[in-house]
Structure 1
Amino acid sequence: MDPHSSPCTLWTCLLVWGISLGHVEGASRKPNIVLILTDDQDVSLGGMTPLKKTKELIADHGITFSNAYVVSALCCPSRSSILTGRYPHNHRVVNNTIAGNCSSKAWQKTQEPNAFPVLLNSIGYQTFFAGKYLNQYGAEEAGGISHVPPGWSYWYALEKNAKYYNYTLSNNGRAQHHGENYSLDYLTDVLSNVSLDFLNYKSNNEPFFMMIATPAPHSPWTAAPQYQKSFSNVSAPRTSNFNVHGKDKHWLIRQAKTPMSNTSIQYLDNAFRRRWQTLLSVDDLIEKLLKNLETRGELNNTFIFFTSDNGYHTGQFSLPIDKRQLYEFDIKVPLLVRGPGIKPNQISKSLVANVDLAPTILDIAGYNLNKTQIDGMSFLPILNNSPNVTWRTDILVEYQGEGLNVSDPSCPSMGPGVTQCFPDCVCEDAYNNTYACVRTIAAAYDLQYCEFDDTEVFVEVYNLTADSNQLTNIAKTIDQEILQKMNRRLMMLQSCSGPSCRTPGVFDPRFRFDPRMMFMAQGPQDQQKIFKVTQT
């Protein structure tokens, strides 16, 4: 029976695919790997609080990374970085649209063939995907749902963006429509069930990789019926940067209406509660998955990764809800890992990014990283608690703004885009909300340096040690030598590729600055930009 040529039930297809994928009996078993990816889950505002089972089953048995970041605070660029291990300036996905290269034909031609699942599959891993892939996956211009990316043994992907009911899945290239019956169609539970089916019917003769990408806690924040009254007394955290004017910040932050209206505050509080409610089903998914692995005797040989594609804000600097901004609440994400050789109850302060997931997973699988085009670093030595690990001190965060909220007069000259008002129209993004940052965590420094690509050449700098909520922009008061160092490092990272993205940062004792590197692959305008910034 060929599951590609005739209809079949899910378990039969899995059974056939599992048998067809089997290698010779007795082959050595490499570790299994599972990556669970949530959608828009913050960590700075308590996003892990609802996931009590996840903490017990993953964090308490493994390691929590307290400084885990995404290299772009938006779904499609971030997911593209996870799949490729590359910064956005190298994979060239800049937003969630086809025009922004999200799941475009160009992406399929240049990036998908080198994504890490392809490499895993090439060394004998059976690979399984279920959930949200890229925001434009399944669009007609992207080849429709019949397009199954290379490298996946089993493909169960959502058409386009996050939904909970009334959606279409690509079941290995065939359309599978779902309605609004909770017991049959609630997407988080469907992903849980199909994942368990894969475990029950996969080949037992080779290792597996699973990627499960839930819709939660992305809008429309539809919780399962049994959880719709949970957290009824919870409100969005009133942090020191909640509902305050963004002083000395980029124009987009300065334009936000402060104080927010009561309707905006009620809306974001409701969104906050509903986001938490949707995560309870993710907690159930993880519990079922790990119990199944344990029952099968495979949990001890399986690495489990849990993370999100970006953070989120609810009222910070008077921005009601969204992501896309450079601040900790949008770029910092949860990252938990358990697996063979990882000691329990660890917390690592090492600076890791989502471009590191691909090289780490490949390293676990035994793939030669020297054969890849990856910008990130494998943090397997950190997982193994290896002695004398030398680790990075900085990462690049980059974002290219796009036109949203075009009906709002507070967002001038933005061009065509998507109107997205909450109850009160607030400008959350624009074309000149385009920035690049160096996020530095070193022995004596916890800093963020950001430049905006606009006529202001606006700069924001934060000392996270003294100002964890990023209230005070110290660009005009910080030591000029430090400002120049971070400016130079930013220029280097913005043009880096592969090994050059992993060179020591300016606050790393191994760093040796070559002035010629300031202008490598840069033109006269960039040299002028350096001069302007350092003279601020």
Structure 2
Amino acid sequence: MLPSGTEGPRLFLLLLGFLSSSCLWVEGRSRKPNVVLILTDDQDVSLGGMTPLKKTKALIADHGMTFSNAYVASALCCPSRSSILTGRYPHNHHVLNNTIEGNCSSKAWQKTQEPYTFPALLYSSGYQTFFAGKYLNQYGSEEAGGINHVPPGWSYWYALEKNSKYYNYTLSENGQPKPHGQNYSQDYLTDVLANVSLDFLNYKSNHEPFFMMIATPAPHSPWTAAPQYEKAFLNASAPRGSNFNVHGKDKHWLIRQAKSPMSNSSIQYLDNAFRKRWQTLLSVDDLVEKLLKQLEARGELDNTFVFFTSDNGYHTGQFSLPIDKRQLYEFDIKVPLLVRGPGIKPNQITKSLVANIDLGPTILDIAGYDLNKTQMDGMSFLPIMTNNTNVTWRTDILVEYQGEGSNTSDPTCPTLGPGVSQCFPDCVCEDSYNNTYACVRTIAAAYDLQYCEFDDAEVFVEVYNITADPNQLTNIAKTIDKEILEQMNHRLMMLQSCSGPSCHTPGVFDPRYRFDPRLMFMDQGQQSHTLSRKTLK
């Protein structure tokens, strides 16, 4: 049941139940599959972020497919969530960072992107759509239309105002503000999301398929665990891999300025954050268990696809950066992705390279929506999940980020000058305007590479052979074969300029690709593209 004080959504859901019971249900009638998308906030996979989620692994991964190479188009909340919703790279949806000025939930976003998100398309094709949790970082702010704004295409809207919290927050219940306090039994946000989701399942219409998106606050700061989990993982500490607490040699300026080795206070701080992050995830594990048990009890689990993923990764001490995201390395851009559903065999692991821009096309494909009617940059990985042997999959994706910065110097970092947005212990400043980069992440039969360029005065380049150097200690930009370097540079320029189907063209190491220094030609009659440098604007 919903926590007390949530009469608004209860009445709404009871009305849905009344409408449902008044509709004639034909026993055995086929229906499109249901879809559930569970989205965590800042959950890494490279540093053990899935470890606390024992139930989630048992209920989703063990019954379906784990994607071992799932990435985000941008390692920051608002650009990444915008990519999930639109199926587009940041250079096409134009959300650059977590600010209104960076287009996060802005009026321009609402006008040009929101009507065409994949949930809106699902709604237009007969799906009931349900949202609960964190939407976009600036949602509910006055400049974004306030909490009364409900994006098009949602049958039921239960969204958090602004950024992740666990207590003392306000929710938009179908456009009406509902404040919450700090009483655990009534207000702990992860549990509130679980309860309202269960009520939706109880009272929704039974003659229409449904889509649910549940976006938890965990494990985002302030890392407030439920009372029963506050003493969990007390002996845990951040992984001490080979890239922990070491100087970022041959890396871009922002990494090179980090104090290395870190002080004891910084290490204690990040270890404490690491433990608390895991503690908050235990409530997410409970949410998943409750939701799937309810789907099973209602006889709907076998006709439901369940996706579990995160909006970006996270780091805790790598290259002497205590905590944050935003960086181009595996720990920040790689995320968990687990899926179970009709036609997916249990206990599968795939190495196919997928990105969060693929979630929308995949879910629309599941719903039978004609993907030719969209202009999404992503691709449906439904054929991969159902073991279609005829599918030819991509070998590379784009990762892009524009530094957020600030308008004034941070007084705690006087040597770094203007453009520093925030600092953690010992002044390891995580972002600045010149932290603007674009990368090609390539996974092919013979290559596992990352190529990145910075949009700064240096035009700094970082290249990593992930097979030989999984912790990305050695930048091989000056030693890699020049032809490969040139090919990756041209591929990056093409991806930075792509839109819709042109983002689906073969990658550098795909057999269908043929390289020329002046033009990039695509075999099988595909259109050629003149190359030109394009950065995020």
Q: How many Å separate the matches in 1 of 2:179 and 2:478? A: 56
Q: Which residue of 2 aligns with 1:312?
A: 314
What SS is found at the alignment partner of 2:372? helix
Q: How many Å separate the matches in 2 of 1:283 and 1:521? A: 48
Contact 1:168 1:176 in 2 (8 A): yes
Amino acid corresponding to residue 71 of structure 2 in structure 1: Y
Q: How many Å separate the matches in 1 of 2:95 and 2:285? A: 30
Contact 2:494 2:531 in 1 (8 A): no
* 1:376–1:133 distance in 2 versus 1, CA, 3 Å: same
Aligned 1:149-168 pairs, distance under 5 A: 149-168=151-170
Q: How many Å separate the matches in 1 of 2:233 and 2:310? A: 21
Deviations 1:26-59 (A, max 9, x none): 4641000000000000000000000000000000
Q: Determine whether 1:174 maps to 2:176.
A: yes
Deviations 1:366-411 (A, max 9, x none): 0000000100000000110111321000000000001158234366
Amino acid corresponding to residue 383 of structure 1 in structure 2: M
Aligned 1:166-245 pairs, distance under 5 A: 166-245=168-247
Q: How many Å separate the matches in 1 of 2:297 and 2:509? A: 47
Q: How many Å separate the matches in 2 of 1:325 and 1:383? A: 30
Deviations 1:399-435 (A, max 9, x none): 00011582343663434x64x3323211111100000
Amino acid corresponding to residue 129 of structure 2 in structure 1: T
* 1:272–1:29 distance in 2 versus 1, CA, 3 Å: same
Deviations 1:443-488 (A, max 9, x none): 0000000000001010000000000000000000000000000000
Q: How many Å separate the matches in 1 of 2:151 and 2:17? A: 18
* 1:449–1:23 distance in 2 versus 1, CA, 3 Å: farther
Q: How many Å separate the matches in 1 of 2:438 and 2:415? A: 21
Q: How many Å separate the matches in 1 of 2:98 and 2:120? A: 23
Instruction: Give the alignment partner of residue 504 of structure 2, picking from 483, 502, 505.
Output: 502
* Residues 98-107 or 386-395, more deviating: 386-395
* 1:442–1:411 distance in 2 versus 1, CA, 3 Å: farther
Deviations 1:53-95 (A, max 9, x none): 0000000000000000001000000000000000000000000
Q: How many Å separate the matches in 1 of 2:24 and 2:401? A: 46
Q: Determine whether 1:329 maps to 2:331.
A: yes
Q: How many Å separate the matches in 2 of 1:330 and 1:14? A: 38
What SS is found at the alignment partner of 1:424? helix
* 1:155–1:452 distance in 2 versus 1, CA, 3 Å: same
What SS is found at the alignment partner of 1:355? helix
Contact 1:448 1:464 in 2 (8 A): yes
Deviations 1:92-150 (A, max 9, x none): 00000000000000000000000000100011100000000000000000000100000
Amino acid corresponding to residue 142 of structure 2 in structure 1: E
What SS is found at the alignment partner of 1:466? coil
Instruction: Give the alignment partner of residue 519 of structure 2, picking from 516, 528, 531.
Output: 516
- Give the root-mean-square deviation of aligned CA atoms: 1.8
Q: How many Å separate the matches in 1 of 2:458 and 2:24? A: 63
TM-score normalised to the size of structure 1? 0.94
Deviations 1:248-305 (A, max 9, x none): 0001100000000110000000000000000000000000000000000000000000
Amino acid corresponding to residue 492 of structure 1 in structure 2: M
1:364, distance to aligned residue in structure 2 (A) = 0.1
Q: Which residue of 2 aligns with 1:4?
A: none
Q: Determine whether 1:493 maps to 2:495.
A: yes
Contact 2:310 2:336 in 1 (8 A): yes
Amino acid corresponding to residue 152 of structure 2 in structure 1: P
* 1:230–1:209 distance in 2 versus 1, CA, 3 Å: same
What SS is found at the alignment partner of 1:512? strand
Contact 2:197 2:291 in 1 (8 A): yes
1:517, distance to aligned residue in structure 2 (A) = 4.4
Contact 2:78 2:136 in 1 (8 A): yes
1:12, distance to aligned residue in structure 2 (A) = 2.1
Q: Identity percentage over the alignment?
A: 81
The size of the alignment, in residue pairs, is 518
Contact 2:449 2:463 in 1 (8 A): yes
1:19, distance to aligned residue in structure 2 (A) = 4.8
Q: Determine whether 1:141 maps to 2:143.
A: yes
Amino acid corresponding to residue 414 of structure 1 in structure 2: P
Q: Which residue of 1 aligns with 2:116?
A: 114
